[in-house]
Amino acid sequence: MSNHQPVRLAIFASGSGSNFEAIVHAFQTEQCHAEVALLVCDRPDAFVLKRAETLGIPSVAIRPKSFDSKEGYEQEVLNELKAASIDLIILAGYMRIVGKTLLKAYPNKLMNIHPSLLPNYPGRQGIQDAFEDGATETGVTVHIVDEGIDTGPILAQETVAIEPDDTIESLERKIHAVEHELFPKVIHTYIKKLQKEHA
């Protein structure tokens, strides 16, 4: 990663891709020395692939079931990342646990967003778990990915109140609105930090 070349981001997503789109828009409008260079998707039918096409972002859909092992799948993903000269990986609604192959290739270069105030409510049902628990607040956490599930170093958190009249749907909308604002900002800040370290 040099200061002359833009930092090249790969976004990993499994679903509709609203965070993916928010990040792409943020980096198209902000004066940041970075670009979203690749979308990696593990579900060939996911709507995020259509978003990528509309936004003109190169994408690759790789089905994990096509491989004998997680290592085989991640090695194929890694080949695509290397071919696209990716510097930093952003997980935005990617519903798989990242394994050693990718963690070893991108130490401290994998970032995730999680819909709770970690360490509370880790795992894939973060919003629902907080809601069903009767919590009065939850939020959004951006963190570096390590070998655990939602356990890596926390970069930023923002609280979201759970009001008495909230439904799970209204809470999800509030969480997503915060995610779309917070995630691009934290990525931006982290890229500046990496660039300083490499200056």
Q: What are 146-175's pLDDT values in tens digits?
A: 998 899 999 999 999 999 999 999 999 999
Closest CA to 91 of 189, 188, 183: 183
Domain for residue 1, yes or no? no
Domain for residue 37, yes or no? yes
Selecting among 4, 25, 33, 114, the annotated active-site residue is 114
Residue 3 clears pLDDT 60, i.e. is over it: no
The domain of 103 spans 7-197
Cis peptide before 119 (omega within 30 of 0): yes
Domain for residue 124, yes or no? yes
Domain for residue 90, yes or no? yes
188 is catalytic: no
So what's the pLDDT on residue 10? 98
So what's the pLDDT on residue 194? 83
At 79-95, the pLDDT tens digits run: 999 999 999 999 999 99
At 104-144, the pLDDT tens digits run: 999 999 999 999 999 999 998 999 999 999 999 999 999 99
Residue 199 clears pLDDT 80, i.e. is over it: no
Residue 1 clears pLDDT 60, i.e. is over it: no
Domains contained in the chain, number: 1
CA–CA dist 145, 157 (Å, integer): 15
Domain for residue 2, yes or no? no
Q: Taking a C-beta distance cutoff of 8 angstroms, is the pair 23, 11 a contact?
A: yes
Q: What is the CATH number of the domain that holds 22?
A: 3.40.50.170
Domain for residue 16, yes or no? yes
Q: Which residue has the higher pLDDT, 28 or 155?
A: 155
Domain for residue 67, yes or no? yes
